[in-house]
Amino acid sequence: MHIDWRREVNDATAVKIVCEECEQEVAVAIRANGRLLCRACAEALGQSGREVSYEKILHQVLLDMRGRLDDWAGLLERSCELRRQGRGNNGVLLEDRDWNRLVERYRRLEEYYLALHRVFRRRDFPIPDPGWRSTYVERVINCGYTSKLGD
């Protein structure tokens, strides 16, 4: 499945949560019976539900990206292990042309991850599990590749 991460980041950063009852923009809404309501309207209507916030939406997109990048690091590690075992060209998981295309796709995903990371910083949202980034970078570098997420 191909995900357009540029669109995902743009959509997530443009999110405005609006109460469906009073039509006011809010930072946190209550999702009740399929509707987004501000706390005041939810109370007035006697509705309860799950909280939805801009930060939680961005948090989920960030975690999804991390999952994809972890998959990439795992693929690099498997390829690297095959080369260490002396399997030569058989150690390459994909043809060179396909491999280069895959590398480029993950480079773009790293760029989108950095863009989303900057949104977190600008809005003073805490970065979930900040140590993840250094762990990911070490995995990629240990396989002989570079990462846009750091060195």
Residue 35's pLDDT band, with cuts at 50, 70 and 90, is: confident
Judged against a pLDDT cut of 90, whether residue 44 lies above it is answered with yes
**What is the pTM (predicted TM-score) of this model?**
0.70
Within a domain: 151:
no
Total count of domains within the chain: 1
Within a domain: 45:
yes
Within a domain: 80:
yes
Rounded to whole angstroms, the Cα distance separating 33 from 56 reads: 19
Within a domain: 150:
no
- Tell me the pLDDT tens digit for each residue of 75-129: 888 888 877 776 655 555 555 677 788 888 888 899 989 988 988 888 888 999 9
Within a domain: 147:
no
Within a domain: 14:
yes
Residue ranges making up the domain that contains 95: 5-142
Pairing of strands 28-32, 35-37: antiparallel
Within a domain: 148:
no
Q: First CA to last CA across the chain, in angstroms? A: 29
Residue 15's pLDDT band, with cuts at 50, 70 and 90, is: low
Read off the pLDDT of each residue in 32-42 and give the average, rounded to a whole number.
88
- Tell me the pLDDT tens digit for each residue of 106-121: 888 999 899 889 888 8
Nearest to 68 by CA among 21, 150, 9: 9
**Contacts with 124 (C-beta within 8 Å, 6 or more apart), sequence order:** none
Output the CA torsion sign for 139, 143, 149, 151. Answer: positive
Give percent of the chain with pLDDT exceeding 70.
82
Long-range contacts of the stretch 12-20 (C-beta < 8 A, 24+):
12/57, 12/58, 12/61, 12/116, 12/119, 13/58, 13/116, 13/119, 15/54, 15/57, 15/58, 17/52, 17/53, 17/54
Within a domain: 46:
yes
